[in-house]
Chain A
Amino acid sequence: MKILVTVKEVAAVADDFEIEGLEIPETYLEYDLNEWDDYAIEAAVRIAEDRDEEVEVVAVTLGPERSEETIRMALAKGVDRAVRVWDDALAEADVLDPTTTARIIAAVAEREDPDLVLSGVQAADDGFGATGVALADLLDMGWAAVVNDLELGEGEASVRRELEGGVEELTTVDLPAVLTIQTGINEPRYASLRGIRQAQRKELAVHSLADLDLDPAVVDDALTLTRLAKPETESDATIFEGDPGETAAELETVLRDAGVGAE
C-alpha cells in the first residue's frame, strides 16, 4: 500500500511586521510545517505502523529549496521519502489558484499511484482549504473533507467529518480516496533524534514542472494578487497601558462593573 501525504511549509508573520507593496519582507516571516499537515503525516505514519502489509508513505510538497528543512521534519517523523516540486514559474507566481496547486500535485500523484492520499484541511498561510478536494476530483478519486477520525476497511474508509457546532458526520468513502485531515485527529509525534538522523539519508527528489510534463503556463492561472494590507481595524477596544500591576487593576474595575466576583 502506498500513502501520499501533501505537505506545505507555511509562513507565519511575526508579531510586529511590515508590508512592502505586495510582499512581506522575509525578516518578518517565520516558517514551519503547516499545522494541519502535521496531523496528516501522523495519520499516514500510524497506518504504516499498524498494518501488517508493507506501507510506503511519500510526502509531496510545492516549495523552494528552503522548505527542505521542513520536509526533512516529515521524513524524521516516519515518512519514507519525499518529492518536492519547484520551478522558476512557481517562484514568480504571487498567488496560486488552489486548483492550480492541485493540478501540479496531481501530476506527482499520477506517477506515484497511491492507494490513499492524506492532505491537511487547509494551509495556515493562504487558507484556501481547497487543495485536497480539488486533487481528488482531478485524480478521479473519492474524497472526504475535514476528517477527524479515520478507519481503513476493505476498499473503503470510514471517516468522521467534523461539521459545525459539535456535530460529526459519519461517512464511508470508496478507496482510493483523498482525505483532508483536521487537527485533533491524533497526537502528532515529535521527531526523535534518531529520526532526524535517518531523515538525512532518505530520498528527497526535486522536480521541475517540465519533469512532470507540465507546461509552466499552468501557473498563469486567472488569479492575480492586487493588494496586501494589514486589515483596517474597526476596533474600538480600550487598551489598558502600563505595567501588569496597572493593567490588571484597570481590568479588575471592568470585571467588577460587569458583576464578576460579586458575592
Chain B
Amino acid sequence: MSDVLAVADHRRGELRPVSYELLTAGRELADALDGDLHAAVVGGNVDRFADKLDCEGVDAIHTVAEGSEFNHDVTVAAVTALFEALDPSAVVMPNSVNGLDYAPAVATRLSLPLVTDAVALDYDDGLTVTREMYGSKVETAVAVDEGPVALTVRGGEWPAAEGVGEAAIEAFEVDIDESSIRSTVRGFEEVGAGDVDISEAEFIVSVGRGIEEEENLELVEELADALDATLAASRPIVDNGWLPKNRQVGQSGKVVTPKVYLALGISGAVQHVAGMKGADTIIAVNTDPDAPIFDIADYGIVDDLFEVVPELIERFES
C-alpha cells in the first residue's frame, strides 16, 4: 500500500485554508497510489483541528499535542517521526510561509527528494509535479524517480476538501528532544495599519515595478485622483519605501476586493495575485504580452503605461 501524509497549517487558533486544499491534493495522490490519506496536525488545539480536518476522503488523523503555536523544530521532529511510523509514499505540506520554514528540513532529515510550490500532481507510473518558473512565465514538469517524496503545494490550486469523513483520530506521541529546539516564537504583530484601508476600496489603481522611479509615482497618483480611486501597489514599491506597507496588495500585504482593480506595470506574481484575484473587474496595462497578470485580467492593454496613463488622466479630468 502507498499512503500519503498531509500536514495541516494553522496559526493563532485557526486552520489555514491551504490545510483543506492539501487534503484534496493528498487524496488525489492517495487514489492514484491506491493508498490511504493520513492527515497530521502539530500543535495548537489539536482535537478541535482534528474534528475540522475530518473531511470526506481522510482515512486517519494524527494529532501531535506539542505547543500552542507553530514551531518548526517541533514540526520537523513530529512530521519526521510520523513519516517513519507510517512509511507513506509522499508527505504533502503547504507552500505557506510556515511550510517554507519546515518542509525543506523534513526532506533533508528523511533524505527525500523535495519539490516545492506544486500547482498540479500527475501520477502515471510515476509522479510528475507541475510547477512554475521565472515568475509564472514558464511552466515546468518535474518527474520524481521512484520512492517516497516530499512535496509542498501552492495555496489556491486545489479545491478545499469538504464533507464529513470517518477518519480515525489518534494522538501521536513524539519524543521531542529539548536540545533540538533552537527557536522560540515570542509573539505576533499586525503590521501595515495606517490612514487608508485599501481592503475597503471600491476602485483601486495599483502600481508595480513598471513605474521604474519614485518620481513617476506622481503620474499614477494623478490618475487615482482623476478616477477617485485608491492607490495601492505591488511589493517592490513598498520594499523601496515609495509607499507605506498598508498599500501593499498580496500574500504578505492586504487582500482587496474592489469593483475595479487597475494594475499598472505589475507582472502578476502569484503572491501578488493572492491579494487581488477577488476583484470584480481586473484591468492590466503591461508592456509584456506574456505577463501572467493577463491570465487573470478581464481587460488588458499591452503597452507602455507612460503612454496610456496620461491619455486616461486627460479623459477623466476633462
Contact = CB atoms under 8 A, between A and B. Distances in A.
Interface of A is mostly: mixed
Contacts of B190: 166-168
Contacts, number: 282
A138 interface: yes
A112 interface: no
A248 B306 CA distance: 12
Interface stretch (B22-30, B49-57, B178-186, B211-219): B178-186
Contact of A239 (B103, B117, B300, B307): B300
Interface string A109-126: 000000000000100111
Contact of A144 (B131, B183, B308): B183
Interface in A199-240: 221-231, 233-240
In this complex, the interface size class of chain B, counting residues with CB under 8 Å from chain A, is 35 or more
Contacts of B229: 260
Given A99-B114, A235-B296, A254-B281, A145 B97 contact: yes
Query: In the complex, which range does the number of interface residues on chain A fall in?
Result: 35 or more
A125 B134 contact: yes
Nearest to A162: B252
Interface in B93-122: 95-98, 100-105, 107-109, 113-117
26 contacts: A102-B104, A125-B133, A127-B116, A134-B104, A134-B108, A136-B105, A137-B76, A141-B182, A166-B190, A166-B192, A166-B253, A168-B190, A222-B113, A223-B143, A225-B143, A227-B139, A228-B138, A230-B139, A231-B138, A235-B295, A239-B294, A240-B300, A244-B307, A252-B316, A255-B262, A260-B229
Interface of B: 11-12, 16, 72, 76, 95-98, 100-105, 107-109, 113-117, 128, 131-145, 147, 149, 182-192, 202-203, 226-229, 235-236, 238-241, 245, 251-255, 259-260, 262, 280-281, 283-284, 287-290, 292, 294-304, 307-308, 311-312, 314-316
Interface of A: 11-13, 15-17, 19, 24, 95, 97-99, 102, 121, 124-134, 136-138, 141-146, 158, 160-174, 177, 180, 183-184, 187, 221-231, 233-240, 244-245, 247-252, 254-255, 258-261
